[in-house]
Amino acid sequence: NALFYDPVSAALIDHVGGLADLRSRRIRVIGNAGERFREDPVRVWRVIRYAARLGFVIDEEAGREIIAQRHLLSACSSARLFEEFCKDLLGPQARSVVTGLKNYGILHLLLGHIGEAFEADPRLFDWACELLDIADREKALHRDPGLGEMTVLFFWPWVESLLAGAPPDPGAVLKMAFMDAGLAVALPKSLRAQAIDVMVLVARMRRALRTGNMRWSMRGRPQYGQASRLFFLIELHRSPQEGESFESLFQKA
């Protein structure tokens, strides 16, 4: 957005060396990067997003200031942070963007204890990246997962560990875990409740496939269809084919 076009002379006007940056595949902040980030800390996030989506490198000064100023993100409104979070989940290259946030030590600032878990446990983060890869492939095939599905896929590796012991009331366990996570990104209550319902159903489907016992009354739950599709993405790393459902898969097992 620093390049200008003169329609009369058909000339591209570049006051800040933007064309050279494009040729070098480099993301650079106009002016003093530290000042720009202090003016609006969300720019820290956006620099990482642009670099990840375009496959560009981040300028050395900008990289230093991201680390120095990243803590300011915690002072941004949680609603605005959620808006930015949605852009990453629903947009292209979700895995690359989230990896960039992790590499710059930002996940824990946005996602509290969940971000800390992703930053501390490589296996947990690799599993999250694998699921984001699957989601990115779905987007490329124009089978875009909605926000609810992307929320389930992104948080699933963390949720899976909480449900490992099959607690009697998994919904209550997840609700309390999200409330205690210290999220700076404000997940709306409706989105969180919907995601928890789907996660519980997916967990029960996975357990049913192992044990051979399934409570088919769950088919009456409003989120059952969505949970069935996500079961395929999580368990089989693909979408269900035409005519496929969890029931058909269960019968073959």
Looking at residue 164, its pLDDT comes to 83
Task: Give 253's pLDDT tier (boundaries 50, 70, 90).
Answer: low
Measured distance CA(158)–CA(162) in Å, rounded: 7
Which parts of 93-146 fold into alpha helices (H)? 94-103, 107-120, 122-140
Residue 42 near residue 50, CB atoms below 8 Å: no
Measured distance CA(206)–CA(191) in Å, rounded: 22
Q: Is the model more confident about 47 or about 239?
A: 47
**Can you give the pTM of this predicted structure?**
0.90
Q: What's the average model confidence in pLDDT over 61-66?
A: 97
Structure confidence by residue, pLDDT tens digits, 158-200: 999 898 887 889 999 999 999 999 999 989 999 999 999 999 9
- Letter string b/e over residues 96-125, b meaning 16 or more CB atoms within 10 A of that residue's CB: bbbbbbbebebbbbbbbebbebbbeeeebb
Structure confidence by residue, pLDDT tens digits, 128-151: 999 999 999 999 998 889 999 999
